[in-house]
Structure 1
Amino acid sequence: MKEKNIILVARVLSAVFTPFYLSFVGMTVLFTFSYLSQMPWGYKLSVLAMVYFFTILMPTLLIKLYRNYHGWTLIQLSRKERRVVPYLLSIVSYYACFYVMRLYNIPHFMGNILMAALVIQIVCSLINVWWKVSTHTAAIGGVVGALLAFSFIFMFNPISWLCLTLVLAGLVGTSRIILRQHTLSQVIAGFGVGVVIAFAVILGL
């Protein structure tokens, strides 16, 4: 019974902290710590809704349709050679969001978050050709990198948020190992990829 409960918690963590939430969390951080916090609530909610649609809802539904079309379970889809199309679907979704944001002249800080998330997806998909890397930990690593970058840009103390994010990163990484989706090295590598790319892209390095 105890083992079943641990597996259930791991599944919930994996489902809640999907690889697609980086942009949404990044936008929320911007609307909290930057000058963008002064913008009207209606504007902020409309941007968050758009980001949610393109970077979370759209890729999730497309990947689910793809999985159902082939009749695969989540475990079967996680095989390295079957992850190429899901990566492409998510990359297209992220680029569509980036394009719409540019079309409506949304501030460049927001575009940088989308670009960071897009680059993380592309790098992970390229790594996946040779080696299976964790996109779950890459996403939460991206949150850490974004927090560090924005703390430099907007001069705020990120320690409390970093502590919370690092705890969540440990929980998410552990859940992926418990579910036998990734090894420890794949989890750590994904986290490192996310941190470095998000930090570099947002700071424009």
Structure 2
Amino acid sequence: MIKKIASALSVLLHPLLIPTMGLLVIFSTQSHVTFIPFEYRRLIAIIVLISTCILPLSVMPLFLQVGIIKSMHMETPRERLIPLLTTAAFFMLGYFFLKKFQVPAFIAFFYLGTLIAVLLSLFISFFWKISIHMVGIGGLLGALLAMWLKYGVNTQLWMLAILLLAGLLGSSRLILGAHSPKQVYVGFLLGAITICSVVLL
């Protein structure tokens, strides 16, 4: 039962879903940082969803078919290299479109930070298995922290909620035997520090 809950949480908080979820959380703050019309917000959300989730997922069956990955879990670091490289390419495409539409600076930096976190995860995966799940949830916390520090937006309650979810997600990855505690902690810190730094700089 516990493993089923852990698996469900790993799916619900999948790293490919986190950028879109994070964007919706950021929009929900109703702050001056993202004060744009609803239709514009919807367009941005669609671009982010397609480039960070739908397109990366769409090529996974092909990777399975040709043997690049053995399963959707991608249990070894080497299995992650091509999927992460492809994901980074789709992220870059999304960033290009967002810049073209001249999105608010915070959204552009949030997305750029996410792209950099993916590239760093790709580099680390050449020699070590980092928790991509924790990179994602850590990045969302980093974005909310930067939003508070740089723009004075009240995101404390959201940060507490994300910390709680991060704890549950990290525990789930350990319960499933997907990662060691070190891989979980490093993943979380990498995501949080990378995105927070990109937004603050």
TM-score by length of 2: 0.92
Residue 27 of structure 2 aligns with an amino acid whose one-letter code is F
Greater fraction of residues in helix: 1
Note the alpha carbon deviations across 1:130-149, whole angstroms, 9 max, x for none: 11100100110001110100
Alpha-carbon distance in structure 2 between the residues aligned to 1:31 and 1:80: 34
Give me the CA root mean square deviation. 1.7
Q: What does residue range 99-138 of structure 1 map to in structure 2 within 5 Å? A: 99-138=96-135
Percent identity (aligned): 27
User: What are structure 2's unaligned runs of at least 5 residues?
Assistant: none
Q: What does residue range 178-189 of structure 1 map to in structure 2 within 5 Å? A: 178-189=175-186
> Does residue 16 of structure 2 align to residue 20 of structure 1?
yes
Say whether the 8 Å CA contact 1:120–1:194 is kept in structure 2: yes
> Structure 1: which 4+ aligned runs deviate by more than 4 Å?
none
2:66 maps to 69
1:56 to 53, 56, 65: 53
The range that moved more, 134-143 or 56-65, is 56-65
Alpha-carbon distance in structure 1 between the residues aligned to 2:117 and 2:110: 11
Alpha-carbon distance in structure 2 between the residues aligned to 1:32 and 1:14: 23
1:160 to 157, 160, 179: 157
Alpha-carbon distance in structure 2 between the residues aligned to 1:37 and 1:109: 7
TM-score by length of 1: 0.90
SS, match of residue 178 in structure 2: coil
Note the alpha carbon deviations across 1:144-197, whole angstroms, 9 max, x for none: 110100012221332211111011101111111111111111000000101110
